[in-house]
Structure 1
């Protein structure tokens, strides 16, 4: 496989990962409310917050909070 072929296949994998990540970053209103309340109670303990939201990881919660409330956290 040439370098060009590898590059294009890697780019498509990267773009697919970006799409999957953006899809996961969509939080429902209920999730947003719960994250906010848990953050007020627990602080930046992302794993504990994520443990209360099925299907979410600590990394997703942290990224969401840092993007949504960058000046607050």
Structure 2
């Protein structure tokens, strides 16, 4: 394997190890009003987290997306078990 391929393989390997699974995420606490607004906005605009976060002061798009993903997984777990 030449140097360039080794570098590419090392870069790809390090990228995979940097990814964080949602299990390791901290729970995002939202107020009932925030949750309601997120659900309504999601129905209107889909996963445009930046647009949704713009309607909730102090929230970042990443927080909104993480909340939504964790909420969906919790709903699936509740439904199956």
Structure 1-normalised TM-score? 0.63
Rounded Cα–Cα distance in structure 2 between residues aligned with 1:26 and 1:68: 11
For the pair shown, the structure with the greater C-alpha radius of gyration is 2
Q: Which residue of 2 aligns with 1:53?
A: 56
- RMSD, matched Cα: 1.7
Say if 2:40 is the partner of 1:44.
Answer: no
How many residue pairs were aligned?
50
Q: Indicate the residue corresponding to 1:27 in structure 2.
A: 30
Q: Which one scores higher on RCO, CA 8 angstroms, separation ≥ 6? A: 2
Give the unaligned 5+ runs of structure 1: 1-20
How high is the TM-score relative to the length of structure 2? 0.57
The residue that corresponds to 2:68 in the other structure is 65
Offset, 1:69: 1.2
- Segments of structure 2 that go 5 or more residues without pairing to the other structure are 1-25, 77-81
